[in-house]
């Protein structure tokens, strides 16, 4: 866990591209929206590991965003129900459901369908938002944070010093 936190700190403060961090965070958010335990989640999770972005940021955001996703459940349900009950799509969804393997995607679940649609809508704006936040953090927040009294006093705490030593080891690998 300590090396995981250190990897996030190294990524935030390193010369890695902000887009890689933003992509990881956006994928983590999208995965947090989709209920786990279906083939759609597994496919998106697998695709995320094949793309070039910060995996530590993705995994951390996958752990942090589920409370927000549960707050969005009514919106996801309503969106999914709207799409799944549209008469124009009835025959299309019936055909998909009768194909082998596709029912395991659980696209007929209103929350899964709503989450998938919102992911398609939100991924790009989230990417640009998180990219800008990383840039702002690096320019304005990180220098002030490094010089704050709180950080200086936290460096004296034993487990924080372990994280910092792991951070220093990882930062040499950049």
User: Distance between CA atoms of 66 and 103, rounded to whole angstroms?
Assistant: 24
Report d(CA 164, CA 160) in Å as an integer.
6
d(CA 66, CA 98): 31
Domain span including residue 88:
2-171
Predicted TM-score (pTM) of the model is 0.77
pLDDT tens by residue, the chain, 174 residues: 556 665 666 666 666 788 998 999 999 999 999 998 889 999 999 998 899 888 888 988 898 899 998 999 999 999 999 999 999 999 999 998 899 988 889 988 999 999 999 999 999 999 999 999 999 988 888 778 777 777 667 666 777 777 767 666 655 444
Q: What is the DSSP letter of 108?
A: T
Give the count of domains, the chain.
Answer: 1
């Amino acid at each position: 866990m300590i090396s995981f936190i250190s990897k996030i700190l190294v990524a935030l403060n390193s010369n890695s591209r902000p887009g890689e961090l933003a992509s990881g965070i956006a994928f983590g958010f999208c995965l947090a929206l989709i209920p786990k335990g279906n083939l759609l989640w597994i496919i998106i999770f697998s695709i995320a590991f094949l793309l070039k972005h910060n995996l530590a940021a993705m995994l951390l955001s996958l752990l942090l965003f589920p409370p927000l996703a549960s707050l969005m459940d009514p919106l996801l349900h309503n969106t999914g129900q709207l799409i799944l009950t549209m008469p124009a799509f009835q025959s299309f969804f019936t055909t998909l459901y009768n194909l082998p393997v596709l029912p395991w995607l659980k696209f007929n679940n209103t929350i899964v369908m709503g989450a998938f649609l919102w992911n398609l809508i939100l991924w790009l704006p989230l990417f640009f938002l998180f990219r800008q936040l990383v840039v702002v953090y690096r320019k304005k927040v990180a220098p002030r944070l490094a010089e704050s009294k709180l950080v200086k006093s936290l460096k004296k705490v034993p487990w924080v010093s372990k994280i910092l030593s792991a951070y220093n080891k990882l930062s040499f690998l950049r």
